[in-house]
Amino acid sequence: MSIKSYIRTVPDYPHEGILFRDITGLLENARGLRTAVDAMVQRYTGESIDLVAGIEARGFIFGTAVAYQLGVGFIPIRKAGKLPGGVVGVDYQLEYGTDRMEMHADAISEGDKVLLIDDLIATGGTAAAAVELIRGVGGTVVEACFVIDLPDLGGTARLRSLGCDCFRLCEFEGE
């Protein structure tokens, strides 16, 4: 089965008119989860990657599994106030205001090659903020990897305009 077949579409969630792409079915199915993680690992095996960064919260699920298989460390990129100790952060725009993402200040060293992972890219605001955060401390984003891309919402194009390559396991066009 394809990755896409494990993803359920929930109409009108969390708001009317939204088609929510629910990865729960993918996570609950051993074959689906293994297929997704293996596809990511296969793409990056042999690549020069020092760290994997995952965006809260579903990026943690895929990111830690990929980091483990690649034999590299994992960096959580979290919403403001969730990490202890010294952090660096970046504010970014949402449809309805602003938000902030943070990571430990010493998580990335100058020149580290970082793979960024999340479950879904829509408008790309969160992913663009994560790229800015990684670059801001001297890291290089090797690629941004997503389980799902909603290309009509422009997130992948937004990241590419920032000079960040993107990869996705499946996409839902026109929705």
User: Of 8, 28, 78, 95, which one is the catalytic site residue?
Assistant: 95
CB atoms within 10 A of CB 135: 17
For the beta sheet containing 87-94, the strands, ordered from the edge strand earlier in sequence to the opposite edge, are 87-94, 97-104, 73-79, 51-55, 113-121, 140-149, 166-171
Is residue 58 annotated as part of the catalytic site, yes or no? yes
Instruction: State which H helix or E strand residue 84 sits in.
Output: none
Is residue 95 annotated as part of the catalytic site, yes or no? yes
Contact present, 51 and 115 (Cβ < 8 Å)? yes
User: Of 43, 56, 58, 135, which one is the catalytic site residue?
Assistant: 58
Radius of gyration of the chain (CA): 16
Strands 140-149 and 166-171: parallel
Catalytic residues: 58, 95
